């Protein structure tokens, strides 16, 4: 793997992955980061990287749905490996505006696969989500053999892209690996997702909107553990195989929010407890009850285990948001705020789903 194309590298996980890989002792090649820079793509997430890793990092502002510039880029940079993160990634947005989810997640993946078919590929790694499996009841775990049963336009579009990747392996022999990961958290996560949204709202004394009764369960994984898992699969995963990635860290949403409040009270004390800001709001339509991953295949075959517990990872994450208020401010005054204002009149009114 000499010239790795990372798609969506200015997003949350992609930018953490690029930082991780350029510093990894077992990678000496180059990274070409292609990102459309949607509201979620922020070049600031990789500030200083081009200078620090001069000659090993290139950024290209392009849309994976546009085959011509992408094809030119494959040739110019002699791409031999793809690590595909680029996607529309937020379930709530997919409920309100599904179009871009179908375009980027399905058609974008298709266009990339076509390019991979035309060039000699060492590997096409596809980054996906556990949400393709739909919802669990109160027990059981998702395994790689769990049938797909997506609930939202987001998870349906990711499911379609997973099928395309596997079909291109079977039909055209492209060497692929697929990973389906649980919910990530950590530095640089866009503040529309549960954890950064709650941290930032709590710091500003704003309501903490918990959907429904707050008993929905997610399986949380620190982003760097995900990045290490992806690189492990790329290096040693069997071609054509799928690996589930999870933290064995199931938490009810209300438990996550209360824990965030308590740690914030300790790290950034105010007059009242942050728990007083918790507000139960109308549930998300089609809200999956529970996700939980069996990552036994990845652990057993490839010897991966998460390094962070939820407590250590969440403390690092809160510290990062406290130390990077400039990053937060620049996001708030940008496209995100204007999108929210256009849709709902105020920032983060999505939980009610009543105005769409």
In the list ligand TYD, ligand NAD, none, the entry touching 209 (Cβ below 5 to 8 angstroms by class) is ligand TYD
Q: Which is nearer to ligand TYD, 129 or 295 (CB)?
A: 129
Question: What is the rounded CA–CA span in Å between residue 286 and residue 152?
Answer: 7
Q: How far, in Å, CA of 66 to CA of 86, rounded?
A: 13
Closest CA to 60 of 44, 43, 48, 45: 43
Give the nearest distance from C-beta 245 to ligand NAD in angstroms: 8
Alpha helix (H) residue ranges in 192-280: 194-203, 223-236, 253-267
Closest CA relative to residue 39, chosen from 352, 332, 343, 348: 332
- Residue 160: CB minimum distance to ligand TYD, A: 17
Q: Which residues contact 347 (CB under 8 A, 6 or more apart)?
A: 332, 337, 340, 341
Strands (E), 79-146: 81-84, 123-129
Q: Which does 108 bind (CB under 5 to 8 A by kind): ligand NAD, ligand TYD, none?
A: ligand NAD
- The nearer residue to ligand TYD, 77 or 290, going by C-beta atoms, is 290
Choose among ligand TYD, ligand NAD, none what residue 351 binds, the Cβ cut-off being 5 to 8 Å by kind: ligand TYD
| Binding residues for ligand TYD restricted to 271-300, rule: CB under 6 A | 284
Residue 28 or 352 having the CB closest to ligand TYD: 352
Q: Between 108 and 274, whose beta carbon lies closer to ligand NAD?
A: 108
| Residue 194 binds ligand TYD (CB under 6 A) | yes
User: Does residue 253 bind ligand TYD (CB under 6 A)?
Assistant: yes
Q: Judged by CB under 6 A, which of 39, 168, 211, 222 binds ligand TYD?
A: 211
Active-site residues, by number, are 130-131, 154
How far apart CA 121 and CA 341 sit, in angstroms, is: 43
**Chain centre to alpha carbon of residue 174:** 24
The one of ligand TYD, ligand NAD, none whose footprint includes residue 274, by CB under 5 to 8 A per kind, is none
Residue 193 contacts ligand TYD per CB under 6 A = yes
């Amino acid at each position: 793997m000499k010239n790795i194309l990372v798609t969506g590298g200015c997003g949350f996980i992609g930018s953490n992955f690029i930082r991780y890989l350029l510093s990894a002792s077992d990678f000496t090649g180059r990274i070409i980061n292609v990102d459309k820079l949607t509201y979620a793509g922020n070049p600031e997430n990789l500030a200083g990287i081009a200078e620090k890793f001069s000659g090993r990092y290139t950024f290209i502002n392009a849309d994976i749905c546009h085959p011509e510039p992408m094809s030119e880029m494959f040739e110019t940079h002699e791409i031999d490996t793809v690590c595909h993160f680029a996607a529309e990634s937020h379930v709530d947005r997919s409920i309100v505006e599904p179009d871009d989810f179908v375009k980027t997640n399905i058609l974008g993946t298709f266009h990339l696969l076509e390019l991979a078919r035309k060039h000699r590929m060492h590997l096409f790694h596809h980054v996906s989500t556990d949400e393709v499996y739909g919802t669990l009841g109160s027990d059981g775990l998702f395994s790689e053999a769990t049938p797909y049963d997506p609930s939202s336009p987001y998870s349906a579009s990711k499911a379609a892209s997973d099928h395309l990747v596997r079909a291109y392996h079977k039909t055209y022999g492209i060497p692929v690996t697929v990973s389906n990961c649980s919910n990530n958290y950590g530095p640089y996560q866009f503040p529309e997702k549960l954890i950064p949204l709650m941290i930032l709202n709590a710091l500003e004394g704003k309501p903490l909107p918990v959907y429904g009764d707050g008993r929905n369960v997610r399986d949380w994984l620190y982003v760097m553990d995900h990045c290490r898992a992806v690189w492990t699969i790329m290096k040693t995963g069997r071609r054509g195989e799928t690996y589930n990635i999870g933290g064995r860290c199931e938490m009810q949403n209300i438990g996550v929010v209360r824990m965030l409040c308590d740690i914030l009270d300790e790290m950034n004390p105010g007059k009242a407890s942050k728990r007083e800001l918790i507000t139960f709001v109308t549930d998300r339509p089609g809200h999956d009850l529970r996700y939980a991953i069996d990552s036994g295949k990845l652990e057993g075959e490839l010897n991966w285990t998460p390094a962070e517990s939820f407590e250590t990872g969440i403390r690092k994450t809160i510290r990062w948001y406290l130390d990077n208020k400039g990053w937060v401010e620049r996001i708030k005054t940008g496209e995100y705020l204007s999108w929210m204002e256009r849709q709902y009149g105020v920032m983060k009114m999505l939980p009610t789903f009543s105005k769409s």
